[in-house]
Amino acid sequence: MTGKFQAPKGVSEYFPPRSSHFDFVLRTLTAPALAAGYELIELPIFEDTELFTRGVGESTDVVSKEMYTFEDRGGRSITLRPEGTAGVMRAVIEHNLDRGQLPVKLFYRGPFFRAERPQAGRYRQFYQFGIEAIGLNDPQLDAEVIAIAFEGYRRIGLKNFSLHLTSLGDSESRASHRSRLMEYIDSLDLDEETRNRAKKNPLRLFDDKRPEIQKLMAQAPLLLDFLNDESKNNFGEVQDALSSIDIPFEINPRMVRGLDYYTGTTFEFVHSGLGAQSGIGGGGRYDGLMSTLGGQDLSGIGFGLGIDRILLAMEAEKIELPIANYTDLFVIALGEPARKRAFVMIQELRNQGFVVEQSYGDRGLKGAMKAADKSGARFSIVLGDAELSTGSVELKEMATGQALSVTLSALAKTLAEKSR
């Protein structure tokens, strides 16, 4: 192979300065989850393929078209994780996390993989932050999960997003709707592939992006009209809880999430500045998933928020972020005695909480000052033989050029005062 190596097509990667924005988003989304008692779970990047075919659903595009599946050296079928919930549920079952206090409240973050056709906001390797609350079916828990995502977006600074909400009902409601929906679909003129897809999960046709299918489904019976009293009351309580904490929402009866395990409360956050790939996160309840994967018959609810699309939404709204890793001091040491003294002093300052950089190698004063300018440091000092002799340095404020004589022993105190 000749030439430079490049990242694989369709992979999102983050490097300075944009990586600081990526880090900001992750930290900001994590804060509301921590405040609500959610704990970190780190999941494998790959799992047994059957976990996803059973858990996510064979009728979904994720399983049928988009998974990265391979055979390992032991002949086992392995898949790079396309989503997080199935892996979390497997870990909860395997490690008996559901045998203690309920709900089990977990959060995760990291890369996920789907064999997508790359385009803006749709990647083959993408990043998510997600939470799962497993073990109880309570409308207030549904509202809590939604509120954590909403608060995360709010803290990031996003404004041009909306919450779409629906209910996919319980098994009785879905069965009643499915019967009527299949009658309607059987009356349509559909190609064989679409008809077979509908037999596996007729709700998938509501999510079909082809204009001709959307037109055919315009008069299809809606699941919200088939909710039994229990599902209807549950969904009403979720809406009341969200309204009580001033979270606005739109009821979207045609919304279908891309994974088969969703039941009951289902939601999506949509941003107006992203065009076709407008979803920046979503989730819902998944009654029955745990038992499908061999565990107890416990309910759960969660979400996955797309870090890549959130960053695009921030750029669309021109959200400016504070400078990450703000450098307090840049140290220029001239001569070997000064370099040795500076090395010790820099470590002491860092241990006290200051962000300190230094000039490396045999760079002269002029080149070192250029490096100090590029670092974005607030202050700089030059430490040479004269400064070692007097025990004092000139603390230069980089933005104004003003300098203040400071003893080395008082340097940390002066930096702290200047940072207030």
Q: Domain check: are 53 and 122 in the same one?
A: yes
Q: Domain check: are 34 and 76 in the same one?
A: yes
pLDDT 10s digits, 132-155:
999 999 999 999 999 999 999 999
CA 194 to chain centre: 32
pLDDT 10s digits, 243-295:
999 999 999 998 876 566 788 999 999 999 888 778 999 999 998 899 999 99
Q: Domain check: are 306 and 354 in the same one?
A: no
When pLDDT is averaged across residues 38-42 and rounded to a whole number, the result is 98
When pLDDT is averaged across residues 302-319 and rounded to a whole number, the result is 95
Q: Domain check: are 159 and 285 in the same one?
A: yes
Q: Domain check: are 27 and 117 in the same one?
A: yes
Q: What is the pLDDT of residue 350?
A: 95
Q: What is the number of domains present in the chain? A: 2
Q: Domain check: are 284 and 165 in the same one?
A: yes
Q: Is residue 45 part of a domain?
A: yes
Q: Domain check: are 287 and 338 in the same one?
A: no
Q: Is residue 3 part of a domain?
A: no
Q: Which domain holds residue 373?
A: 329-418
Q: Domain check: are 282 and 390 in the same one?
A: no
Q: Domain check: are 310 and 395 in the same one?
A: no
Q: What CATH number is given to the structural domain containing 363?
A: 3.40.50.800
Q: What CATH number is given to the structural domain containing 303?
A: 3.30.930.10
Q: Domain check: are 38 and 161 in the same one?
A: yes
Q: Domain check: are 274 and 378 in the same one?
A: no
pLDDT 10s digits, 158-207:
999 999 999 999 989 988 988 999 999 989 888 888 888 888 778 878 87
Q: What is the pLDDT of residue 257?
A: 67
- pLDDT class for 78, splitting at 50, 70, 90? very high
Q: Domain check: are 312 and 334 in the same one?
A: no
- pLDDT class for 130, splitting at 50, 70, 90? very high
Q: Is residue 289 part of a domain?
A: yes
pLDDT 10s digits, 91-127:
999 999 999 999 999 999 999 999 988 877 789 999 9
Which of 115-124, 274-283, 323-332, 390-399 tops mean pLDDT? 390-399
